[in-house]
Amino acid sequence: MMKSAKRRVKGAKKAILKRSFPATPATWILLVAALSAARYSEHEPTLGVLGKLERGMPWRQNLDPKTVIAVAVLVCATILWMLIGHIHQFILRQLLCYRAFLYEPRGKLSLKTKFWLVAKNPTLYSYEKSLPYLPVPDLDNTTKRYLESVRPILGDERFKKMEKLAVDFKNGLGKKLQRYLVWKSWWSTNYISDWWQQFVYLRSREPLMINSKLLWSVPSQIQSARAANMIHAMFLYRKQIFKEKLEPQFAMGIIPLCSEQFRRTFNTTRIPLKEQDHLHHHGATTHTVIYHRGRFFRLEAFYRGVLLKPADLERQILRILQDESKPVQGEELLPALTSAERNLWAETRSTYFSTGVNRQSLGSIEDAAVFLNLEDLEMDYWEDESEKLDALCRYLLHGNGHSCWFDKSFSSYIFKNGRFGLTAEHSWADAPIVSHLGETLLAEDIQCMGYKEDGHCKGEPEFDLPPPKRLQWDIPDKCVSIIESCQKNAEVLINDLDLHVLVHTAFGKGAIKKCRISPDAFIQMGLQLAYFKEQQTFSLTYESSMTRLFREGRTETVRPCTTESCAFVRAMLNPSATNSERKELLGEAVEVHVNGFRKAMSGQGVDRHLFGLYVVSKYLEEDSPFLKEALTEPWKLSTSQTATQQTKRTDYAKNPEMKTAGGGFGPVADDGYGVSYIIAGEDTIFYHITCKVSSQLTDCKRFSENIKKAMAEIKALFD
């Protein structure tokens, strides 16, 4: 109990000093000074409170009058400070509920919206406790909007059935489930995020491979130098998070976004357990684990409490590259366990890695700030060599099955020619957080640290350091057999993934904006047209949106396949339709899509609400045919835009070498596509298209060609 109380006091002190408390120490000092000046000048700004405190002190007879006044001023100032701070926080939370800016055109913000431009020097978590809680949408609106979204993809008979199920649900069981969800929203900071993490991610028993990745430019082709700079940049970024020096993000530069997900960027590992995994966040260790040629090395990034300079790190990394030792039994394929079905990995971990040297070495990996693979492969590409680009992006999704520790929050690759990539686990955060990390690392690497003319790190080594420590393992034959079977299963998944990167340079954001259309909506309409061209049908489409305008917000779903988008697609394929008619239908489809995106960001989405109702129904052991039907409809087209230029340090016009091809993920449905796209500056759009080789209905390159044709046909409407 004493330790718990001490932790709370320590946390309160930290909250005040870090400005996550409603008021700052500086305001308390100002209040004390103001009250002292008022008291000694015989003014009474506290409406008699200060005088009552002076007269009400039981020990005042034993104190000097000046001491009595000083104590009363301190007590009164503290009470006022806390009261004003909490009132300020309440008002700020109400103001942060403001969402009108989402509906205002860029460059024409209202006076209310411009109010947010007066914020001064915020720290990373300044706004966390003032952010509003995610609201529970109205049940009638959710069922209505759900029916509108599935109308174009269900036949008349299926739609009538679904309509009846929806009406029965909202008039019956839905009301009961809604009450429980509203009650939860009263006492939780976010009514859905904890369940989303628990049931969608941590309780999933599926392998973690084939999720997401990022790739960046190559300022140096010397592997050891690039690795040293990136490790140094990662620890600098981690320090910015710990010290809360990282600048918080704002939607459209106005409303603050929740920064909670940044906390677990480093030193975080998803620990496999039976039934449900656990996210383990160690805090602040000083080492990184490097995997090279099937061996694990523990590299200390600090010496005597000081972060090593890149030149020292490069010399340490060279020692690893020059180490000629061989992997011990089972060591080379050991990471394949993290690609396995989660219950198998949990059982294997408990049996063979819970004691002795194996537990110690596994602990070094799981507690490491960073996991980095020094690859022997040379991965490179040019824009006209699409096969090489595809191979690189495919490798960054899954490696060779054992080249990545998939449990880590993110794992890094440094290829032999200096190319750098990231593979991220998804349960701890969403893609924009990893993208922000990548952008900052690249900016630090290119703009701040740089390299010598020969490609090595700048400066000279300062310390005579001991070599990195090789992790030791004692893996028995039975465990080796399990590891080998995991590797074989991983290879099956790898061989079933098809990926193609479309580098669309015919036109980009610049030309789309001249059409007076949202670039995201333009791309989504292009995907709808391309998908129908290929499949001759419409399918449920997923587009990821964020809800970080709310505390602990994560994602929501936008449904781009609408009645309006389908009408537009049919018009594009109808020879008798005129361009004027097509443009009008496109405008209607875009307006509906943009409004859907705004509603999702405003906490009025459909899918997380339905998911929350479903979880409540399972807790209450109630069966809902409507929710069962609604949540089992497959997402045959799953899409997401990779966030880019999130920092002020990333300017593609000034620094075109910082352009990135973005990230990708695997398909959600066996016979569907996964499409991640990034708007890279004014003239380029990257599409990462994935599907399963085993599917007879999908083909990445074929879909890529249809996307190019669809984009050109929509653009031609405005030429």
User: Which tokens is 554 given?
Assistant: 């994560």
Both tokens of residue 160? 């009538």
For residues 245 and 298, what is the distance between their CA atoms, to the nearest angstrom?
A: 28
Q: Where would I find the H helices in 96-222?
A: 111-114, 139-150, 156-171, 173-187, 193-195
H/E segment holding residue 80? helix 65-95
CB of 102 within 8 A of CB of 518?
Answer: no
Buried residues in 569-582 as b, exposed as e (16+ CB within 10 A) = bebbeeeeeeeeeb
> C-alpha angle 685/691/693, rounded to 5°?
135
CA distance linking residue 237 with residue 232, whole number of Å? 9
Tell me the two tokens of residue 125: 């978590």
Coil, helix or strand at residue 497: strand
**What is the per-residue DSSP string for 222-252?**
-HHHHHHHHHHHHHHHHHHHHTT-SPPPEET
70 pairs with which residues across the strands?
Answer: none
Look at the block and give the residue holding tokens 């530069």.
253
**Partner residues linked to 239 by β-bridges:** none
Q: Please state, in angstroms and rounded to a whole number, the distance separating the CA atoms of residues 512 and 714.
A: 10
User: CA 115, 121, 126: angle at the middle one, nearest 5?
Assistant: 85
Contacts of 678 (CB under 8 A, 6+ apart): 641, 642, 644, 660, 661, 662, 663, 685, 686
Instruction: Residue 508: count other Cβ atoms within 10 Å of its Cβ.
Output: 18
Comparing CA positions, the residue from 661, 547, 695, 659 lying closest to residue 607 is 547
Q: Which residues contact 463 (CB under 8 A, 6 or more apart)?
A: 303, 308, 312
List the structure tokens of 429.
């955060």
375 alpha carbon, distance to own chain's centre: 26
Output the six-digit token pair for 307.
């972060």
Give the Cα separation of 593 and 587 in Å (integer): 10
- What the block records as the tokens of 610 is 């339905």
> Is 426 among the residues known to form the active site?
yes
Q: Between β-strands 673-680 and 637-641, what pairing exists: parallel, antiparallel or unpaired? A: parallel
Q: What are phi and psi of 318, to 5 degrees?
A: -60, -35
Angle value at C-alpha 372, between 410 and 210, nearest 5 degrees: 45
Containing 685, the helix (H) or strand (E) segment is strand 684-692
Q: Identify whether the C-beta of residue 401 lies closer than 8 Å to the C-beta of residue 494.
A: yes
3-state secondary structure of 256: strand
Lookup: tokens for 673: 């596509």
Q: Which of 582, 456, 531, 521 is nearest to 705 (CA)?
A: 531
423: left (phi over 0), alpha (psi -120 to 50) or beta: beta
Three-state SS for 457? strand
> What's the N-to-C CA distance of the chain in angstroms?
72
- Among 287, 398, 402, 426, which one carries the catalytic annotation? 426
Catalytic residues: 426
